Amino acid sequence: MRLQHLFYLSLGVLSISSCGVTKNARHQEISFDEGIKKINHVVVIYMENHSFDNLYGEFKGANGIANVKKGDFLQVDENGKAYQYLPEIPRNNSFPTNLPNQFFNIDQYVPSDKATPDVTHRFYHNQLQINGGKMDKFALYNDSKGLAMGYYNTEKLPLYPFAKAYALCDNFFQSVFGGSYLNHIYMISAAIPVWPDAPSSMVAKLDANGKMIKDGVVTPDGYAINHVLSRNKPYPAKSDTSKLLPSQTMPTIGDRLTEKNVSWAWYSEGWDDAVAERKNNFAYNHEPFLYFANYEDGKEGRKHMKDQNDFIKAAKEGTLPSVSFVKPGGGNDEHPGSSAVYSSEQLAVNLINAVLEGPNAKDALVILTYDEFGGFFDHVNPPVVDRWGPGSRIPAIVIGPFAKRGVVDHTPYETVSILSFIEKRWGIEPLAERDRKANPFRNALVFK
C-alpha cells in the first residue's frame, strides 16, 4: 500500500510540476552539460542476474517478447537441430518436462516469491549462448537447460511502478560477457583483472578458433574472467589463498573521485559482519573494491567500504555522499538459486524510497540496474565492441526529479554508462575507451 501511495504521489508531484512549466516560460529545458550539475547525489543500486526479457519482456512500449515472432530463436542442440521441447530442467519437479521450445512464464510454475534454480552465466558460456547473434543456444550451454527461456510477469514486479513512472532503458547491455564478479569489477574500473601466474588448473583451454574446450577462471593469456574471490580480507574461512585473485592495481572510479575530493562510498549488505568474521550474507564477489590494492585492510581507501545499513541511515538523515553504490546481500539481491525476485525487489523499493523520501531527494538521481543477465535468454543481439563485450541486455531504470517521466528510452547504453555519467558530472578523466565512448544517460534525463 505504501508503494502504491508513493507511486501516485510521485505522479501528483509531476502533474503540479508540469503545470508550472506551462505557466512559467522561464522553466525551459537547459542543456545536458549544464543541467547535469544540478545532480548532487547519484545512487547506483546494483541487483543480480536477470536479462531484460526475463523481467521486462512484457513491458508495453519496450522492445520485449511481443516483438518476437513464433518460431524465432528456437533453441538448438549441439548439432544445430531445434529441440522439439525445451531440455528438461534438472533437479526440479516444479516445471513440466514438455515445455514448448519458446518463451514460457515462470510464475505459473514457481511464483516470484520463491527462488528458482540458478542459471549458467559465465564468460565463455555467454558468448556460446549468443552464438554469433543467433541467440539460440541459451538452453544448450546451461546447467538449468530450459529454464533459460523463462520470464516473469512484468506488471507483478514490485519495481514495475518505478519503471512505469520514470525512464526504463530497453537497450542497456552488461559491459562484459559472463558473470557477477567480472561485471562488478568492470563497472568501477572499465578494465579486466589480470593474473599472469595463475595456477594452471584454473586456466581455460581454447581451440584454434577461440572456442572453449575447457572452462576456467583465467584466459590462456592471463585475464581473470570467471568467478574468483579476492586475496584481500574478508574472504570465507578456510579459503585456499593460492586460488584467490591477487590485488589489482589499475585505477578505479573510487580513486578518481577521491582525487577530486568528491565524497563516495560502496555500501554492501553484510559488510560489517563479514569484516568482524560473524555469520553474514555478504557476497564476497560482489564487493569490487575489495579486489584492489588501494582498498586492502589498513589502507586509507578502506573507509569508503561500508555497510548497507549505513546507506539507509545516510539517506534518511540527508547525509548521502555525492556517489553511492548500494549492493544488497545474498538472499536479497534477486540472484536465482538463493533469492526470490519478489522479496528482493521489495527491499530494492525500500532503498529507492529511502532516497526519494529523504532530504537529498531534490537533487538525487537513482540508477537501478543489474550486474548481468544471469544466464536467462534475451532476444536482442548485443553490439560488438571488443573482445570482452558487451554481453547480454539487462534492465536499467533511471529514477528521480531529473529522470524523464513515463518513457521507454531506446538509446544504447551499457554498464559503464554509469562511469561515463559520474565522470561527466564531476569532470573526471575517463578510465578507458569504453567509458569515454559510453552514453552518460543523455536521453533518460531532462533539466529545466
Question: pLDDT value at position 5?
Answer: 35
Q: Is 414 helix (H, G, I), strand (E, B) or coil?
A: strand
Nearest by Cα to 203 from 143, 243, 230: 243
> Does any domain span residue 232?
yes
Q: Of 380 and 3, which is predicted with more confidence?
A: 380
Question: pLDDT value at position 70?
Answer: 86
Residue 372 · residue 378 · CB < 8 Å: no
Query: For 395-432, how does the pLDDT look when each residue is reduced to its tens digit (9 = 90+)?
Result: 999 999 999 999 999 999 999 999 999 999 999 999 99
Q: What is the mean pLDDT of residues 239-262?
A: 98
Q: Is 115 helix (H, G, I), strand (E, B) or coil?
A: coil
pLDDT confidence band for 204 (50 / 70 / 90): very high
> Does any domain span residue 288?
yes
- pTM for the full predicted model: 0.94
Distance CA 219, CA 215 (A): 9
Q: How many domains in the chain?
A: 1
> Does any domain span residue 443?
no
Q: Is 54 helix (H, G, I), strand (E, B) or coil?
A: helix
> Does any domain span residue 203?
yes
Beta-ladder partners of 367: 44, 398
Question: pLDDT value at position 28?
Answer: 76
pLDDT confidence band for 292 (50 / 70 / 90): very high
Residue 137 · residue 76 · CB < 8 Å: yes
Query: For 322-375, how does the pLDDT look when each residue is reduced to its tens digit (9 = 90+)?
Result: 999 999 999 999 999 999 999 999 999 999 999 999 999 999 999 999 999 999
Q: What is the mean pLDDT of residues 157-185?
A: 98
Grid cell for residue 236: 570465507
Domain span at residue 47? 32-72+153-437
Q: What is the mean pLDDT of residues 158-172?
A: 98
Beta-ladder partners of 268: 307, 327
Quick one: the chain helix, strand, coil %, rounded to 5? 35, 15, 50
DSSP secondary structure letters along 270-317? THHHHHTT-S----GGG-GGGGBGGGSTTSGGGGGEEEHHHHHHHHHH
Cα dihedral across residues 316, 317, 322, 327: positive or negative? negative
Residue 324 · residue 40 · CB < 8 Å: no
| pLDDT of 23 higher than 80 | no
Distance CA 316, CA 218 (A): 42
Distance CA 92, CA 237 (A): 31
Question: pLDDT value at position 433?
Answer: 98
CATH of the domain at 356: 3.40.720
> Does any domain span residue 40?
yes
> Does any domain span residue 200?
yes
> Does any domain span residue 4?
no
Residue 108 · residue 136 · CB < 8 Å: no
pLDDT confidence band for 27 (50 / 70 / 90): low
> Does any domain span residue 129?
no
Nearest by Cα to 148 from 246, 279, 18, 53: 53
